[in-house]
Amino acid sequence: MASAASTGSTPVYAPAACNWNLESAFFPGQFAWGASTAAYQIEGGWDADGKGPNVWDTFTHQGGDRVFKNQTGDVACGSYTLWEEDLKCIKQLGLTHYRFSLSWSRLLPDGTTGFINQKGVDYYNKVIDSLLANDVTPVVTLYHFDLPQHLEDQGGWKSDSTVEAFDAYAQFCFQTFGDRVKLWITINEPYVVAVLGYEEGTMAPGVTEPGTGAYLAAHKMIKAHAAAWHSYDRLFRKQQGGLVSIALNSDWAEPFEPNSLADQEAAKRHIAFCLDWFATPIFVDGDYPAIMKSKISAMCKKQGLTSSRLPEFTQEEKKTIKGTADFFSLNYYTTRKIKHQDNAHSQPSVSADMEAEQVTDPSWPVATGSSWLAVVPWGLRQLLKYIKDTYNHPVIYITENGFSQSDPAPLDDTQRWEYFRLTLQEILKAIYIDGVHLKGYFVWSLLDNFEWSCGYSSRFGLFHVDYENSALPRVPYRSAIEYAKVIANNRLI
């Protein structure tokens, strides 16, 4: 029998105390059940049909052991030629939504609208049209880590020319695909691009400028996002009626010593320097979190600098940035325990500025394919509640969540499905007990794929991909079969 919550488009928030079994509750009506991928991680065809190079092509081709076994995304899952196989997986799961990213340099080989690669346009038209023909709603990310190399050569995310190029690219995509795409993500995880790409250099473009590179890159990405949102608002929203946001990743953070004020403050800073760094300007007031500004400025003074390493937005820019997201797009993977750390004398870096040390609770299981991924489903509920309370109760989509297996990965991934099940239970609590306005959940990822610096050694897919076989066959893990049941029933069990 369907509960009230399963019918109609408005979820009914059941009181926590009533005699009602949460674990067998229906998800809200119209709940978006999705899976996510990204162009560089699945498409292959790195130089096919006029595609231009991007920073990940360059980074992987340079070798240097920055990627497991110097693997590349040259072939990956072959989705550029095997799209129909991906569609079969999507249909087998019964997804209502599929999130994928456009390869910027497949559409615009040098990153600018000076030249448009029609073959790229044709490919994404085929993907979008066949999703819609199968009643699957496309959710499209414009940029998921794969900046066109030509733009990187002009300074990449440290340069204003990339902000302008991104806005022009976004307008091109809205114009070309926006008649059919109604859910847009401008940038995937600006935190990861900034810190791993422009400070630590472990991801493309491999820039190592600790203490400055990440802040500068983040600053430009926030401006680029805001410019694209305004372009949509001004030129396309009325006609196309879609929504635009930015996908923000964050851990949940708990104080290492719950009663230590210093650790409590450090845990807050861990979230401030990751989620709030982007969410405060975009969702609240156009400016960085006060704690970030004061911490970084204090560190800079100690380092003898005359101005802060954190750039400032002008009043005009603040006005432009504030309010530029139509929903909250959250990527959640893990939780950390945080200790206060005194960094007065260390070299400048984002993590030194934060003065917070991460500790993983040894009692938490770790996903076998990613040493950083401690499995903490309840952390997601805490983070959702934090977002509700901090960002004025927004509509939230979890646009990524998943658990990797190491290679070789068993098709019977019972343990991994248990992690998904526990996570979905926490989501039900968030919706029905905490009243979080959660409208969808997307598994990372539809397929095993190129997991950045881990190459193909880390398998996040609902479908196994056999890279040894040139047909790149996709085979469902048990998690895929179980997820399909949840989607079909709109409830667990």
| Region 36-55 residues binding ligand PNW, contact defined as CB under 6 A | 38, 41
Query: What's the full length of the chain, in residues?
Result: 493
Q: Stretches 52-60, 152-160, 286-294, 444-452: which one binds ligand PNW (CB under 6 A)?
A: 444-452
Which residues are paired to 359 by β-bridges? 337
From 141, 162, 60, select the one nearest 97 (Cα to Cα).
141
| Region 71-130 residues binding ligand PNW, contact defined as CB under 6 A | none
Residue of 400, 426, 451, 482 marked active site: 400
Tell me if residue 233 falls in helix, strand or coil: helix
Tell me if residue 101 falls in helix, strand or coil: strand
Q: Which of 400, 407, 426, 448 binds ligand PNW (CB under 6 A)?
A: 400
With contact defined as beta carbons under 8 Å apart, do 194 and 217 qualify? yes
CB nearer to ligand PNW: give 60 or 249. 249
**Is 357 in the active site?**
no
Q: How far apart are CA 226 and CA 243, in angstroms?
A: 13
CB nearer to ligand PNW: give 188 or 240. 188
CB nearer to ligand PNW: give 308 or 404. 404
CB nearer to ligand PNW: give 401 or 490. 401
Q: Stretches 23-31, 151-159, 184-192, 306-314: which one binds ligand PNW (CB under 6 A)?
A: 184-192
Residue 187 binding ligand PNW, by CB under 6 A: no
Residue 331 binding ligand PNW, by CB under 6 A: yes
Q: How far apart are CA 24 and CA 21, in angstroms?
A: 6
Rounded least distance, CB 444 to ligand PNW, Å: 5
CB nearer to ligand PNW: give 400 or 426. 400
Residue 444 binding ligand PNW, by CB under 6 A: yes
CB nearer to ligand PNW: give 252 or 452. 452
Alpha helices (H) in 69-117, listed in sequence order: 83-93, 104-107
- Distant-in-sequence, close-in-space partners of 335: CB < 8 Å, separation ≥ 6: 251, 252, 253, 254, 364, 374, 376, 378, 379, 382
Name the E strands within 314-459: 328-331, 335-340, 356-359, 396-400, 405-406, 438-444, 458-459
* Count, residues near ligand PNW per rule CB under 6 A: 13
Residue 249 binding ligand PNW, by CB under 6 A: yes
Helices then strands (H, E): number in the chain?
19, 15
Residue 188 binding ligand PNW, by CB under 6 A: yes
Rounded least distance, CB 449 to ligand PNW, Å: 7
With contact defined as beta carbons under 8 Å apart, do 137 and 182 qualify? yes
Q: How far apart are CA 444 and CA 460, in angstroms?
A: 6
Other Cβ atoms within 10 Å of 192 Cβ, number: 16
DSSP annotation of 428: H
Q: Stretches 44-52, 152-160, 188-196, 340-348: which one binds ligand PNW (CB under 6 A)?
A: 188-196
Q: How far apart are CA 330 and CA 324, in angstroms?
A: 15
Residue with tokens 């709603």: 137
CB nearer to ligand PNW: give 46 or 444. 444
Residue 189 binding ligand PNW, by CB under 6 A: yes
Rounded least distance, CB 224 to ligand PNW, Å: 17
Q: How far apart are CA 53 and CA 47, in angstroms?
A: 7
Rounded least distance, CB 335 to ligand PNW, Å: 13
Q: Stretches 86-94, 187-195, 222-230, 408-416: which one binds ligand PNW (CB under 6 A)?
A: 187-195
- Catalytic center residues: 400
Please report, as ranges, the residues that interact with ligand PNW according to CB under 6 A.
38, 41, 188-189, 192, 249, 331, 372, 400, 444, 451-452, 460
